[in-house]
Amino acid sequence: MPEAVDGYCLSAAGLTKRFGGFHALRDVDIAVREGSIHAVIGPNGAGKTTLFNLLSGVMAPDSGEIRFRDRPLGRLRPHGRAALGIARTFQNIRLFGHMTVLENVMLGEHWRIYPSLWRSFLKAAWHRPFGEAPEETEMRRRALETLEFVGLAEKRHAMATDLPYGEQRLLELGRALAMEPGLLLLDEPAAGMNIRETEDLDALICRVRDRGVTVVLVEHDMNLVMGISDWITVLNFGDKIAEGHPSEVQRDPAVIEAYLGEEETL
């Protein structure tokens, strides 16, 4: 996957999204450096998930443009963006509950290889009368490597939804990594995790970045955000109100004001 000439992995300009008359996002610009960890923060309802929905192609913006490694994404659907190297996880975990941990990760790989045929794989996972094809053996091996990377190899035969929430989030992250993305969008990956799990996640996200994957992170856990982010964009009521290095953003009066009355403090 070629790197962007200007050093930005992702850039978006003038992103606006309305629901009815309500602005969920208003004229937001964001530029994410190749190889960085870039956090998007803001109080509940600020528009963070909406931004991810626009970046990943789940929703189309009312106006604005998104470029990935200098290529305009236009109206490309999520599977088309995934094939280019944009993967995401969801604030509300979306796993295939009737499949094992390993199969969920294999599905991520399959999506990368055959983005339009993943449904046939789902069927194949249920009906396997003639044993396993060689490609499937290779996919299984790679999926196991990914599970080792996220620390879930021992749970590979468990049903996905039998895992505690923290591990379900790791699994979703593993499934996204199996797509071998250049850009990974993580929507509240620490939600439902205890302090210990959050610390491990902190290290894991850094290892993902060290593999050359650019990470955009929506997260409420400020220790996590301030500790690992190279750059932070702050949204409030759909507007971008600040951006900068963690130390600058933390001291920004507009950011402090936006968080007053929120449970989370900077």
The residue from 6, 19, 207, 211 that contacts ligand ADP (CB under 6 A) is 19
Question: Is residue 169 classed as helix, strand or coil in its secondary structure?
Answer: helix
Which position has the token pair 């190749």?
A: 34
The residue from 24, 43, 47, 49 that contacts Mg ion (CB under 5 A) is 49
The residue from 42, 182, 189, 246 that contacts ligand ADP (CB under 6 A) is 42
For residue 49, state whether it binds ligand ADP (rule: CB under 6 A).
yes
For residue 178, state whether it binds ligand ADP (rule: CB under 6 A).
no
Distance CA 96, CA 6 (A): 38
Token pair, residue 192, equals: 């439902």
Burial class, 212, CB count within 10 angstroms (exposed 0-12 / middle 13-18 / buried 19+): exposed
Report how far apart, in Å, the C-alpha atoms of 206 and of each of 63, 123, 155, 176, 251 are: 33, 36, 23, 16, 24
Q: Which stretch binds ligand ADP (CB under 6 A): 7-15, 41-49, 120-128, 244-252?
A: 41-49
For residue 24, state whether it binds ligand ADP (rule: CB under 6 A).
yes
Q: Based on CB atoms, which residue is closest to ligand ADP, 103 or 188?
A: 188
Q: Based on CB atoms, which residue is closest to Mg ion, 49 or 89?
A: 49
Burial class, 103, CB count within 10 angstroms (exposed 0-12 / middle 13-18 / buried 19+): buried
Could you tell which of ligand ADP, Mg ion, none binds residue 44, using a CB distance below 5 to 8 A set by kind? ligand ADP
Which residues here bind ligand ADP, judged by CB under 6 A?
Answer: 19, 24, 42, 44-50
